[in-house]
Amino acid sequence: GAVVSQHPSRVICKSGTSVKIECRSLDFQATTMFWYRQFPKQSLMLMATSNEGSKATYEQGVEKDKFLINHASLTLSTLTVTSAHPEDSSFYICSARVAGVSEQYFGPGTRLTVT
């Protein structure tokens, strides 16, 4: 149980375009989902926290107008990188938790390359 999927696993896009990444909880309802970014040889950095049906809370330094997060249902959150630039190339990982449970369950990640 507690499986989280991400789609796509890899995506290449051109500079200036937008790309959407999906995060799904497959066998549980996720009241909260988290989006992390990981640059090579760096730790995972939390970008934003989203609760179903409400606006996401962004970490300091993360542009909310550039990284659009939608958590429209208890099993799906999406991250849209708008007007992507090469410096946005990174590994994006989502996680999900159930209300009342401390543990977060992580997705397999999405490798974004902006050319």
Partner 1 sequence: KQEVTQIPAALSVPEGENLVLNCSFTDSAIYNLQWFRQDPGKGLTSLLLIQSSQREQTSGRLNASLDKSSGRSTLYIAASQPGDSATYLCATRGHSGGSNYKLTFGKGTLLTVNP
In the complex, which residues of this chain contact partner 1 (CB under 8 A)? Answer: 6, 32, 34, 41-46, 49, 57, 91, 93, 95, 97, 102-109, 111
Q: Quick one: 36 or 88, whose CB is closer to partner 1?
A: 36
The residue among 71 and 97 lying less far from partner 1, judged by its C-beta, is 97
Q: Which single residue is written with the structure tokens 């290449």?
A: 12
Backbone φ and ψ for 21, nearest 5 degrees, come out as -120, 135
Contact 20, 78 (CB under 8 A): yes
Compute the least distance from the CB of residue 37 to partner 1, in Å.
11
- Of the two residues 93 and 114, which places its CB atom closer to partner 1 in the complex? 93
Please state the closest distance from residue 108 (CB atom) to partner 1, in A.
4
If DSSP codes are grouped into helix, strand and coil, which group holds residue 87? helix
**What's the min distance (Å) between Cβ of 46 and partner 1?**
5
Burial class (CB in 10 A: 0-12, 13-18, 19+), 36: buried
